[in-house]
Every structure is written in C-alpha cells, then in structure tokens.
Amino acid sequence: MPLTIEFDNSYARLPDRFFAPQAPVPVAAPELIVVNDALARELGIDPAELRSHEGVEMLAGNAIPEGAAPLSQAYAGHQFGGWVPQLGDGRAVLLGEVVGAEGRRDLQLKGSGRTPFSRGGDGRAWLGPVLREYLVSEAMYALGIPTTRALAAVSTGERVQREQGRDGAVLTRIAASHIRVGTFQYFAARQDVEALQLLTNHVIERHYPTATDAISLLDQVLEAQAGLIAQWMSVGFIHGVMNTDNMAVSGETIDYGPCAFMDTFHAEKVFSSIDQFGRYAWCQQPLVAPWNLAQFASCLLPLMGEETAAIEQATAIIHSFPDRYQRHWRRQFGAKIGLVEAGLEDDALIDGLLSLMQAQNADFTNTFHALAGGDARQEFDDPTAFDVWETSWRDRVQRETNPEARMQAANPAVIPRNHQIEAAISQAEGGDFTLFHRLNAALATPYELDTANADLALPPTPEQVVPNTFCGT
C-alpha cells in the first residue's frame, strides 16, 4: 500500500547550519505495536496505510516516504544548570512536517539511530521509554495539557544495551515543532545574529502570528509557559528534566524521560534518578521555568534594539512570570476545589489543603477527585484533620453554582501511575501488550472511570511503589 503523506517542510528550508541532513538508520525486523488512529486522521493520514508493510517500514525508519526531508536539529542547552554548547537530536530524525486539522505538525522518529549529534551514544531507544512516552504524552493530551503526541510505536527486532540488553523500539512523535529554548541558545552562543533573526521569524510565523518582534515573542512564550506549568502542577506531574533543551517555545510539554505523576502528595517530590539535588522537584517547576525563560530572553537581546532599553523590557517580562503563573495556578486549583474564579483570598484555602495532604499522606489525584463525591476524608491518615479544613471549604463553596460539576471536570479519576506503567513495560518485554493497551484506552478518558478499570485508579501498595524513573538513554 503506497503511503500518501503530504509533507511541507518549512524547517528544512532554513539554512544548513540549523540541522544536519540525516536519514534514519534501518532496523532488523520491525513490528507494529500501536497506531494512534484518531491522531493519524487529524494529520490527514490513513491509519490503514500506517499499518501496512510500507507504513511499518516508515515508522521504523527503514523507508523514507516521498516528500520527506529527514534531518536532525541542532541545539544547545543548560542541563541541570550546566552549559552544554552543542546537543542536538542525538537519537531522533525529523521526517518532515504535515499540515492537518490541527495546523502544521512535525513528524519525528525517536530512537531512529545515530546522528551527528549523538555524542557517542547509539541513537536508539529501548521499549520501556517508548511505551512510557506514548502513554504519558497521550494521557496529557486527554487531560487538556499542551503536549507532543504519539502517533505510533514499533519494536525493532534488535537489542540495545543499557544497564542490560533491552528490546529496541521507535516512537513516532508529533509536535507543533521541536524548536526549544536551546535552539536559540545554540545560535546565541555562536553570536549568529542572522540565524537568531531567521529562527525568530520562523517561530513567530509558525506559533505566534500576533507577535511583531522579539520582545513580543518573549512575552507570548512566557505566557504560554506560565499556563503550561500551572497545568502540570494541577495534576501532580513532575517533568523531571526541565533543562533548557527540553523547553519547547511552542508551549507544549516535550521530552518525557524520567517524568512521573505523584501518588502520595509531597511538594518536594522527585522521581528522576539523575536529579540528585531536587532541582526539578514538583515545587521547583514554577521557579525553574522563569530561569529557563531568562536564558531565552538573553538570546533575543541582540534582536531587541538599543541595549539598555532591551534589557529593561526583557527583565520586566521575566519578572512578570510569578504573577502570571499565580493567575493560572488559581484558575487551575480553584476549579479543583469547585471555584469558578479563585482570588487572592482563596490561596490560603488551597494551600491549606495541600499542606494537610502532605502531612496526612494523602494521594494527590484521588483526594481531589473524591472532593466532588463528598468522601475525601477517607484519603487522610487522620480523617478528623480533614474535617476542620472541610468546614472552611464548604463555607466558601456555598457561594458557587454547581461546584460538583466543576470539580468533576478538573479532577481526573485516572492518571498514568508509575507502578502501572512499569507493570505494562515489564509485561510488554515478555511480549504481552495487554496492560499497555488497557492503560492507553483508560487514559484517553481520564475524567471517567469504568468499573472494570477501577484498579487503575488505585495508588500503589508499598511493594508497588516506583521511587525512581530513568531517562532511558
């Protein structure tokens, strides 16, 4: 079956120094794991074509479809605060861009072999991280959080070496773009003002058409990130590697490595095995984001005109992040406790619940979901401790109309819990993808939970707790 994907590759039309032309490295024996039918149709791609022999060959990197312009993007970045002047796509190839119902989208193969940016790595991915990113990115989409998406996953019939030999896999990732803060840093570090201007123009045209210059682009990117981080916080999501090369200027969540959703709430929760000092803990995310954006602002300064005025403008925008974030945070957490519009006076009520949850070992997702049903007290070690807070909350929520419906729409019943993901990966390594597909189906409707899937909403038992997550590189 011939593939009929309509590509229009705007990034490939930028100068050669923006990327390295790079074909995927073929694999031995690809087999299809999953195709995201709904997403394929949004992109104007027939899912049946992706399931065909030719489609699987493309998804594995063994065949390049007509019209594609495969490349690996160049970028730099701060990783855990340390500067790395050249990173780039070390295990990914951007096949091209398709224009569908949701606008222009990148179609990228992740785990597709070595590139000029691999820095000694094998450029491959093993099955576990591919399944994790598929599940979590699609769950984020269903939760209404801006994110890259997963179009398909294939196994490769090859083994990749990590701490031990693992089954290889390739993820087909869809994104509004893969342009990062680190992409701007790459050219700023080289004092390539021409490239910075070209990149800025490209991002404005592609993502922020109402922006008129670099300063308005900075303003709009910051606003998008303030909203995104507030949404992460509202579902207990911890990205795990908020390096500047993992911050997409489009405002989408990108790069699901050692990410995790909290079970028991703790503000300083960290899962990433490489985050030894808690730089990217749950509570640190609203602090790291403006630090990253300050690096973005520094890159744009040469495009902003007179230096002193430019610095003052950019500084004012960066300093506006806390207020903008707090506005988004109140909207998110206000809805979670039934408020149509939370104000400054409601901060103490929201913070009080979070403090109580931490002190009483309450499950983040299940506590908020139980509020609408009136049985949240059972989530606390000492239910009487919740009763005091509940009295104040009910006094406040009496002023609202239909708060239960608002809470039901803001508080998911099911999230991609670490222990369920790890169980799905473990079973898949043995050739059984049943739990993976079951999770994928349940996470597509996170605010509804079929009784047959009630076990997927349960927090882990002590034996099931997954304390650490890993990048998979």
Residues that are catalytic: 245
Q: Which residues contact 262 (CB under 8 A, 6 or more apart)?
A: 236, 237, 238, 269, 282, 364, 365
Distance from chain centroid for Cα 36: 17
In Å, the largest CA–CA distance within the chain is: 65
Dist. CA 12–CA 54, nearest whole Å = 24
Residue matched to tokens 């403006």? 290
Of residues 200, 227, 337, 377, the one with CA closest to residue 289? 227
Q: How is the chain split among helix, strand and coil, in percent rounded to 5?
A: 45, 15, 35
Q: How many residues does the chain have?
A: 473
Give the long-range contacts of residues 387-393, CB within 8 A, separation 24 or more.
389/349, 389/352, 389/353, 389/356, 392/349, 392/352, 393/337, 393/349, 393/353
Task: Give the rounded distance of the alpha carbon of 409 from its chain centre.
Answer: 21
What element of type H or E holds 107?
Answer: strand 103-110
**Residue whose C-alpha is closest to residue 457's, from 337, 366, 361, 364:** 366
* H-run or E-run covering 288: helix 285-300
